Structure 1
Amino acid sequence: MNAAETIIWSAASGSIGLVVLLGVADAVFSRSRASVQSLIYLTASWLFFTLLSGLPAALLPPGGAPWLQTAQVLIGPLCAGLGTYGAGHWLSAPRRDRLTDISFRSTSALCLAGGPLCLLLPSSGIQLAASAVLTVLSLSVALWLAVRATQQGDRLAWGLAAGCLLTLPLQLGLYGMALNTSRPSVLLQAGVALLGLLSISVIGVVLWLRNHQDLQIRHDRRSHRDPTTQLYDSVVIVQKIIRAQRRLARTRRDGALMVVRVFEPEQMLALAGQHGLNEAYSQLARRMQRHTGVVNPAGRYYDRCFVVLIESLHSPGWIRTMGLRVASSLRRPLEVTSLSGERIKLSADIAVGMVHLSGAGKDVDQLLHEAEDMAAAARGMRSRAALLDEISRQAVPVENAELGASWHAMRPARPHHTRPSHAVRQRRSPA
């Protein structure tokens, strides 16, 4: 190996080593079993590339590495066995179908058992050739099963198939150089080295993408988020309201609680099915947050009820603007996928209810019920947005509510603590 060849293979090996280091960082950061498996495969692929390129033999003194030939025979089947085993888990072969699962398991076992058996063959050339057959056969099976997975709807499997397709000529080129005493041209070697970098990079990316998907799923299960809308669930939003009341008590500021109710979603369900209904809920949540802002926590209190905690109102008058904007935006048609697969437009029957939120220590359940009742009352109003009047304890359209420059003038003389009990819950003011 001359100086130019040494530079080419050293640069390629170092670049692939950088991919391995990124795998180390991902394994340390995510601490998942899949990321560790990916790191093991990337490390084995780097060793396969480095050993078969002839770089160690060029850097070590002649006869200084008697183990090198044995390592070249074993590394191919080892890398192939680890790769097919990991690809089986990556493609969820046990959950996909029996043929995929059996193919991955048998190929992985054949490579891991066949690698040491190759050392029993009479000559080193035959040993390396048998090792090459096992390695290329395993990769061909993985390529076929990856393409088969794409036909079953796994779009990410296209990346795995592309990585396998790039790795196939790489393996043929590396084994061709290792089996022949005369090395090909520098240009051809540079092409093989570039294929190695591309193939391992592509496979590393698709492994990371799948691992990232798994992490997101596990994180969503622990993050108390509604899976359809990605809003906070009822437990979290209630806790946030309680903490907000404590903050408001300390800062002597005021806010509001907004409830958006969806009435008769069964009509949308009949036209669009459950998938279309979930799509409608997701669009409603995004529209609502677009107007309320990310600083105001939003949650899904139950199936057809959204809650927004508003602590950033600079004046009571702003609640009128926000309520009307949210009601108007959510009443616009939603484009969802119907049961027949076509895109159709639906209109959700929604209403917005709002109540004043302060640090007076009101019962959270009572506040939520009052806001829900305001939304129910708003269904019969033109604007579809209602506010609980602090004095009369009646639902009034937000456009007709008398809102001053501050909440102080709107507060009753003393706080009320009686739990409401009827449809639009009213409470008596203390004498």
Structure 2
Amino acid sequence: MNAAEIIIWSAAVGSMGLVVVLAAAEALYSRSLASVQSLIYLGMYWLFFALMCGLPSVLLPAASAPWIYIAQVLIGPLRSAMGFYGGKHWLASSRRDRLTDISFRGTTWLCVIGGPLCLLLPTGLQLQASAALTIFSVCVMLWLTARAAQHGDRMAWGLTIASVLTLPLQIGLYWLILDYGTLSAPLQAGVALMGLLSISLIAGLLWLRNHHSRQILRNPHTRRDPVTHLYGGVAMVQKIVRAQRRLTRTRRDGALMAVQLFEPERLLAQVGHYGLNDIYSQLAKRMLRHTGVVNPAGRYYDRCFIVLIETLHSPRWIRTLGLRVASSLRKPLEVTSLSGERIKINADIGVGLVHLSGAGKDVDQLLHEVQAVAVASRSMRSRAALLDEITRQAIAVEHAELGASWHAMHTARTHPPRALEPRRQRRTAV
């Protein structure tokens, strides 16, 4: 490695290290689990870059060469595993798409197990196997992020671009470390620039989503609505219209959720306007903890929340989500009464769910139906109801007949099973 190459890689390692330092400052400031996970991933990304660029062989003594080689074999798959683990939560795949969730889980375990297994191969094949596994994982991440972006997650496009930048970076680094051929200084500078752009873009996206989540769940001064800080009614209507267009294109299924607070006047007499606004704010926070920040939520009017759940991997998840939200919102809320004392109040709520597809239904009709279902849920034990698409009646989610997949559910509704006819008795001649 000549002087120009040392300067190129040293500058790149230092620049990427600055990104990691900024992520560490963010983790210390926010003290959130998401920021710590982001710091761990970015630190592993920087370590992967520093180990594979060739600087350790120049700067460290020869006695540490075996440990450096083992680290070079392991760091690629383990970094990919951490990326898939964090990406699964970042994209909320468990709530949105079964195939994406299974792919994230499967690739995570493949990298966790496959990295150490590479050390069991002959010495000449260990680093090659690690390189193949790492590059394969980047291709899978590229597909998964593009799939999530097509399902309505706009930030996922940024991860897709980052994966596109990471792919030539990893190919270039493994090309150098495996000594397949010399690369000119401009090409090495291009590979280093890919790494810097990739880690900067990933760090920015992680910060944006973590900051957005923190704004919604914690910071009461930077949200949208003066009280609940959610989207307004007009914004939610626009998002529903765009979601139906995407569902038509992707042939996916989702749901529309309404959360209705009944008799707020009764609460107003106990806690006043300030306490009532505190109740709305606490209900919004609890609701978002279960629906996730990836699903847009809005305040349709003063006592009604709307959540757009654009993708659901199975119909049965509607039942799970409805019951979780209803159970959480019915737990006691601690607010300040008119006398200044802290009291606990049980909010009278109802949760309504309507199936959402790319059929292009009228938005006003959808909103009217989901509110009517939420009102009907008040008479049900679970306080969560679903609109039956055949009878057009609200039924408790725990009693709804939901199939294991959307295809099976649609087939059952399109071709209902025929009732068995009683066997006719054969008449015998007398």
Class of the TM-score when normalised by the shorter of the 2 chains: 0.5 to 0.7
Q: Alignment length, in residue pairs?
A: 249
| Rounded Cα–Cα distance in structure 2 between residues aligned with 1:36 and 1:54 | 28
Q: Between Structure 1 and Structure 2, whose CA radius of gyration is higher?
A: 1
| Rounded Cα–Cα distance in structure 2 between residues aligned with 1:236 and 1:276 | 20
Q: Does 1:42 align with 2:55?
A: no
Corresponding residue for residue 90 of structure 1:
90
Corresponding residue for residue 205 of structure 1:
204
Q: Is the 8 A contact 2:228 2:299 kept in 1?
A: no
Give 3-state SS (helix, strand or coil) of 2:66's partner: coil
Q: Is the 8 A contact 1:159 1:206 kept in 2?
A: yes
Corresponding residue for residue 159 of structure 1:
158
Corresponding residue for residue 16 of structure 2:
16
Q: Percent identity?
A: 57
| Rounded Cα–Cα distance in structure 2 between residues aligned with 1:340 and 1:236 | 34
- CA displacement 1:157-215 (0-9 Å, x = unmatched): 01111111100110100011010165311111000000000001011111111111111
Give 3-state SS (helix, strand or coil) of 2:65's partner: coil
Residues 214 and 179 of structure 1, relative CA distance in 2, 3 Å threshold: same
| Rounded Cα–Cα distance in structure 1 between residues aligned with 2:146 and 2:45 | 21
Corresponding residue for residue 70 of structure 1:
70
Q: Which amino acid aligns with 1:206?
A: L
- CA displacement 1:87-140 (0-9 Å, x = unmatched): 1111001111111111000100000111011001112x3101100111111111
Q: Tell me which moved more, 220-229 or 186-195.
A: 220-229
Give the one of 204, 226, 229 matched to 2:228.
226
The alpha carbon displacement at 1:47 in A equals: 0.5
Q: Is the 8 A contact 2:175 2:181 kept in 1?
A: no
Corresponding residue for residue 54 of structure 2:
54
TM-score by length of 2: 0.53
| Rounded Cα–Cα distance in structure 2 between residues aligned with 1:32 and 1:5 | 39
Q: Give the 5 Å matches for 1:4-403.
A: 4-123=4-123, 125-180=124-179, 182-219=181-218, 225-228=227-230, 238=274, 278=301
Q: Is the 8 A contact 1:74 1:116 kept in 2?
A: yes
| Rounded Cα–Cα distance in structure 2 between residues aligned with 1:85 and 1:181 | 32
Q: Which amino acid aligns with 1:218?
A: L
Q: Is the 8 A contact 2:77 2:134 kept in 1?
A: yes
Q: Is the 8 A contact 1:228 1:278 kept in 2?
A: no
Q: Is the 8 A contact 1:220 1:227 kept in 2?
A: no
Q: Which amino acid aligns with 1:72?
A: Q
The alpha carbon displacement at 1:238 in A equals: 4.2
| Rounded Cα–Cα distance in structure 2 between residues aligned with 1:210 and 1:193 | 26
- CA displacement 1:287-339 (0-9 Å, x = unmatched): xxxxxxxxxxxxxxxxxxxxxxxxxxxxxxxxxxxxxxxxxxxxxxxxxxx96
Residues 236 and 32 of structure 1, relative CA distance in 2, 3 Å threshold: farther
Corresponding residue for residue 341 of structure 2:
none
Residues 229 and 69 of structure 1, relative CA distance in 2, 3 Å threshold: closer
Q: Is the 8 A contact 2:216 2:229 kept in 1?
A: no
| Rounded Cα–Cα distance in structure 2 between residues aligned with 1:229 and 1:76 | 41
| Rounded Cα–Cα distance in structure 2 between residues aligned with 1:64 and 1:131 | 20
Residues 204 and 11 of structure 1, relative CA distance in 2, 3 Å threshold: same
Q: Is the 8 A contact 1:170 1:196 kept in 2?
A: yes
| Rounded Cα–Cα distance in structure 1 between residues aligned with 2:142 and 2:48 | 19
| Rounded Cα–Cα distance in structure 1 between residues aligned with 2:217 and 2:142 | 29
- CA displacement 1:11-55 (0-9 Å, x = unmatched): 000000000011101111111111111100000000000000011
Corresponding residue for residue 337 of structure 2:
none
Q: Which amino acid aligns with 1:55?
A: L
Corresponding residue for residue 288 of structure 1:
none
Q: Is the 8 A contact 2:85 2:105 kept in 1?
A: yes
Give 3-state SS (helix, strand or coil) of 1:67's partner: helix
Give 3-state SS (helix, strand or coil) of 1:183's partner: coil
Q: Which amino acid aligns with 2:75?
A: I
| Rounded Cα–Cα distance in structure 2 between residues aligned with 1:176 and 1:106 | 27
Residues 75 and 238 of structure 1, relative CA distance in 2, 3 Å threshold: closer
Q: Is the 8 A contact 2:230 2:299 kept in 1?
A: no
| Rounded Cα–Cα distance in structure 1 between residues aligned with 2:73 and 2:31 | 32
| Rounded Cα–Cα distance in structure 1 between residues aligned with 2:200 and 2:187 | 20
The alpha carbon displacement at 1:227 in A equals: 3.1
Q: Is the 8 A contact 2:80 2:108 kept in 1?
A: yes
Q: Is the 8 A contact 2:230 2:298 kept in 1?
A: no
The answer to which structure, 1 or 2, has the higher relative contact order (CA under 8 A, 6+ apart) is 2
TM-score by length of 1: 0.53
Structure 1: segments with no counterpart, 5+ residues: 240-273, 282-337, 342-431
CA RMSD of aligned residues (A): 3.1
The alpha carbon displacement at 1:216 in A equals: 1.2
The alpha carbon displacement at 1:64 in A equals: 4.1
Residues 226 and 180 of structure 1, relative CA distance in 2, 3 Å threshold: same
Q: Which amino acid aligns with 1:14?
A: G
| Rounded Cα–Cα distance in structure 2 between residues aligned with 1:187 and 1:166 | 17
Structure 2: segments with no counterpart, 5+ residues: 233-266, 276-296, 305-360, 365-430
| Rounded Cα–Cα distance in structure 2 between residues aligned with 1:28 and 1:139 | 29
- CA displacement 1:211-236 (0-9 Å, x = unmatched): 11111121157999333489xx9869
| Rounded Cα–Cα distance in structure 1 between residues aligned with 2:30 and 2:152 | 27
